[in-house]
Structure 1
Amino acid sequence: MARLLTEFGMGSSLRRQDYTQAAVRALKDALWHNSINLAELFGKPKEDMVLDVEVGVQAPEQVDVSALEAVFPYGQPNVRVVQGGLDVPRPDGKPTVIANAAISVSLKGV
């Protein structure tokens, strides 16, 4: 099974320092901004899509992985949360949280 494409996204939590929310927004940005019907191009069901997902945030341990998996309407997501992203300092001492996401898509039988 070879990777056929990779999609990228960015999401933020401006005031709540919610790493899960920022990560969900990054995934949605990648998915909805780069809508590609890959499975249909190969005549395969969407369930055959294998999605290797990497999300970077400054506090990976604060991300609810099940919330990230729930973003995907189909396919088989393999989610990994790693150190990355960016916490941008604010005058009130609470950072704006930025998450980055990469979704690599493969297709079974291709």
Structure 2
Amino acid sequence: MDVATAMLIALDDRLAGTCVTLLDDAGFRVIRVKHVAPALERLPVAMPQLVLFPATLVAAEEEMLTDRCVAIGAELLKLAPNLDARALAALIASSAHSALERPR
């Protein structure tokens, strides 16, 4: 059976560290990409079920990222920078479940 994959794009170190821990606990393989441009190239290769990105992205980058994720059938999760740990855990749990249930 294939392992579920999540891609973290342009998240700061603190937020990314928390996400990696939560996603690893949920059974996801995690790929971290620091910038949007290389992430756009890697998305169709890695085919993640879940993509997490910050709410602080420039609108044009967010639009390109959204288009690419829709094309590959990935669930998107836009994260606010000031999200508390409890809310983040709930969001990731819900999105991870949705991503795994989504047909590919």
- The alignment's TM-score, normalised by the length of structure 1, stands at 0.34
Higher-strand-fraction structure: 1
Whichever of the two has the greater Rg, that structure is 1
Higher-helix-fraction structure: 2
- The alignment's TM-score, normalised by the length of structure 2, stands at 0.35
